[in-house]
Amino acid sequence: MSHTDASSCRTSAVRVQRRRTAGWRLPANTICVSRPSRFGNPFDWRVEEGVSDADARRIAVDRFAEAIARKDAQQDAPAGYLGGGVPSSAEIRAELRGRNLACWCPLDHVCHADLLLSIANQEP
């Protein structure tokens, strides 16, 4: 299973795309996980060269997944890390389980929020 595959997630929580439209508000039960929030992806997909945008987004999400795994194993973050604290899987589950997650990424693109939803709502 790819790090970006959230299909094994058994929850009604969804990813929400943030908007700058006048009057738009986060829906109820929704947490913002875009940068610079605590759950923002510290790997910027825009720095990848020589790959498509879709592949660059996938690489950034995979790096974030690796950083979370390293945090869980108490190892240093992988190369390309922009800084800030990477949450552990336990912290993700404790704070995000059952919540909708909002990011700026278009809903038809890979996003780290999909990874967070998958981790947050895994069966124990």
Over residues 18-38, the pLDDT tens digits come to 999 999 999 999 999 998 899
Strands (E), 12-120: 15-17, 30-32, 100-103
Strand partners, 103: 17
Distance CA 87, CA 51 (A): 28
The first and second tokens of residue 16, run together, are 């929400």
Residue pair 65/119 in contact (Cβ under 8 Å)? The answer is no
Q: Is the pLDDT of residue 4 over 60?
A: no
| Residue-level pLDDT at 85 | 74
| Residue-level pLDDT at 76 | 64
| Residue-level pLDDT at 8 | 42
In Å, how far are 15, 81, 88, 112 from 78, measured between CA atoms? 26, 6, 15, 16
Quote the mean pLDDT of the chain.
85
Q: How confident is the model at residue 66 (pLDDT cuts 50, 70, 90)?
A: very high
Q: Give me the mean pLDDT over the 45-54 stretch.
A: 90
CA angle 100/102/104 to nearest 5° reads: 160
- pTM of this structure: 0.80
Q: Give me the mean pLDDT over the 69-76 stretch.
A: 80
The full set of domain ranges for the chain reads 15-120
